[in-house]
Amino acid sequence: MTDPTAGSRILIIDYGSQFTQLIARRVREARVYSEIHPPRVSLDWIRAWNPTGIILSGGPNSVYDEGAPTAPIELLDVAPVLGVCYGMNLIVQLEGGRITPAREREYGRAMLEVLEPGGLFEGFAAGEQTQVWMSHGDQVAALPPGYVTVASSGNSPFAAFRHRSRPIHGVQFHPEVAHSLRGKEIIANFLFGVCRARPTWTPGAFIADEVEKIRALVGSSKVICGLSGGVDSSVAAMLVHRAIGDQLTCIFVDNGLLRLHEREQVERMFRANHGMNLVTVRAEERFLSALAGVEDPEEKRRIIGHTFIDVFEAAALDVGGDVRFLVQGTLYPDVIESVSPRGGPSVTIKTHHNVGGLKPDMKFRLIEPLRELFKDEVRNVGRELGLSEEMVGRHPFPGPGLGIRVLSDLTVQKLDVLRQADAIYLEEIRAAGLYDEIWQAFAVLLPVRSVGVMGDYRTYENVVALRAVTSTDGMTADWFPFPHDVLARISSRIINEVKGVNRVVYDVSSKPPATIEWE
């Protein structure tokens, strides 16, 4: 089987940096495949994975702390290595150098002086200065034998180094962040100059590989797909349909937690435009009955996930034949947020519907063809598969739907209020020409009521919060700075047109420390 990632792929060992996912993004932007794995992976596993290069990420620990994550020294001879911040310090420690607390901690922008062009700094001039982003409290006090300094900063005399004869490099700064102005070039120099990687990670290559894998896995069995109409499940469905055609039946479940007119839009797009087998299941009462009185968001996610599987199992009987597989649009950020990748006790931010919310006794085997992709990569795969720009450009919509945007127990009345407010919000964003500038926008129904005045009457009604963020992959996000007149128009329409709402507020929290969704 052809595997476009087999010849060129970068292993990223995650030592806990908030920027680790950014390293993976930068490598993939250079069209080289990358994966993030924890320090606990064995040396035998790493050798079998056969990386073209290895990047050791930054992290919050000091390498000299008791119990700090480490690596076997033999790792440095498996493939070319780049150590970033903590990863650089780890190389120094493993090779016999010395790391000490820095005289002054260094956080933020710094000027780096290139002492030796070439290698990581191919294309730079000797003595050239470039802005980089530092985030460290330790520094190299003495290089190991065989290493030479190639760049320095005012607070880091050994800001970058290399081994004299082995392909081992280290940088004290973070080339993956945008504040390191030529960071992408430094990463590209490592990938192509040091590792000799090939830029084969493209949407077309990914599709060809996944189609072969899916066909080999499925054989003659039938497959069902939980189609929500969002970008992830739609691209997953199109990819599996390309692989196995009519062996796939998509099941769209109207669970009563959908946006306004969602069911009609999905039916029109996939039946009429793409000729796919699509079954619509009306299950609003079943879901809302199971969720009656439930306020805890994790419990909501669990109930919604389990009820979905119950519905799929029943619908599969109507499909007929040998249905063994269930397709889901799980993405890499879903996996990262649901399971800690760092080797310590798992810290779950939230159970993702596609990852942690499924029944343990589920009879289907999962097909998750997008599991290693970031959102923008999924959109590019969707374009390659022929999905419309309207579809691939849609804002993310969570698996549990509006169930986690009503921040209390769920009723038909509350959901209808939120549905109408959310529809007005998105309509006004589109009318203002801002939809494509925003990563995700949605309304939230808060579990509070406030006093208001409508006409000459006192009201005591619901509060709606508006959320809109900018992001690249959903791992970090900033709140969107709406023009005041747009926010005023949205607020006015919601209060005047949605019965039961008398106050609208706007969320100005970034991720981190907040998450994008409220629950």
Q: What is the pLDDT of residues 214-239, one digit of tens each?
A: 999 999 999 999 888 888 989 999 99
| pLDDT for res 337 | 55
The pLDDT of 6-11, averaged and rounded, is: 83
pLDDT band at 348, cuts 50/70/90?
very low
* Known active-site residue 85: yes
pLDDT band at 456, cuts 50/70/90?
low
Count other C-beta atoms under 10 Å from residue 513's C-beta.
Answer: 6
The pLDDT of 34-51, averaged and rounded, is: 95
pLDDT band at 254, cuts 50/70/90?
very high
User: Quick check: 79 pLDDT over 90?
Assistant: yes
pLDDT band at 138, cuts 50/70/90?
confident
| pLDDT for res 336 | 62
| pLDDT for res 455 | 67
- DSSP E strand boundaries for 128-282: 129-142, 147-153, 160-163, 168-171, 222-226, 248-254, 277-282
Which residue among the candidates 85, 195, 225, 250 is catalytic per the annotation? 85
| pLDDT for res 313 | 81
Q: Considering only residues 78 and 519, tell me which one the structure prediction assigns the higher pLDDT.
A: 78
Strand 98-114 and strand 147-153: the pairing is antiparallel
Rounded to the nearest 10 degrees, what angle do helices 375-385 and 231-244 cross at? 40
pLDDT band at 7, cuts 50/70/90?
low
The pLDDT of 128-134, averaged and rounded, is: 94
User: Quick check: 358 pLDDT over 90?
Assistant: no
SS3 77: helix
The pLDDT of 352-362, averaged and rounded, is: 53
Asked if 479 contacts 455 with a C-beta cutoff of 8 angstroms, the reply is no
What is the rounded average pLDDT for all residues in the chain? 89
What digits encode the pLDDT tens for the residues 295-333?
Answer: 999 999 999 989 988 887 888 888 877 888 989 888 877
Measure the CA–CA gap between 44 and 201, rounded to whole angstroms.
25
User: Quick check: 427 pLDDT over 80?
Assistant: yes
User: Quick check: 351 pLDDT over 50?
Assistant: no
Distances in Å between the Cα of 176 and the Cα atoms of 17, 184, 373, 453 are 11, 7, 18, 52
The pLDDT of 473-492, averaged and rounded, is: 92
| pLDDT for res 353 | 43
The pLDDT of 191-204, averaged and rounded, is: 95
Distances in Å between the Cα of 328 and the Cα atoms of 63, 208, 216, 380, 399 are 40, 19, 18, 18, 10
User: Quick check: 6 pLDDT over 60?
Assistant: no
* pLDDT-above-90 percentage for the chain: 67
Measure the CA–CA gap between 368 and 351, rounded to whole angstroms.
17
| pLDDT for res 341 | 41
Longest Cα–Cα distance in the chain: 83
The pLDDT of 228-254, averaged and rounded, is: 91
Using CA of residue 248, residue 254, residue 259, residue 262, what is the dihedral sign?
A: positive
* pLDDT-above-70 percentage for the chain: 92
What digits encode the pLDDT tens for the residues 485-512?
Answer: 999 999 999 999 999 999 999 999 999 8
User: Quick check: 4 pLDDT over 50?
Assistant: no
Measure the CA–CA gap between 159 and 139, rounded to whole angstroms.
8
Which residue among the candidates 136, 174, 241, 352 is catalytic per the annotation? 174
Asked if 304 contacts 356 with a C-beta cutoff of 8 angstroms, the reply is no
Q: Considering only residues 433 and 474, tell me which one the structure prediction assigns the higher pLDDT.
A: 433
User: Quick check: 124 pLDDT over 90?
Assistant: yes
- For residue 223, the cross-strand partners are 248, 325
| pLDDT for res 346 | 28
Which residue among the candidates 176, 262, 372, 428 is catalytic per the annotation? 176
| pLDDT for res 272 | 65
The pLDDT of 396-410, averaged and rounded, is: 92
Distances in Å between the Cα of 112 and the Cα atoms of 20, 127, 179, 254 are 22, 9, 12, 56
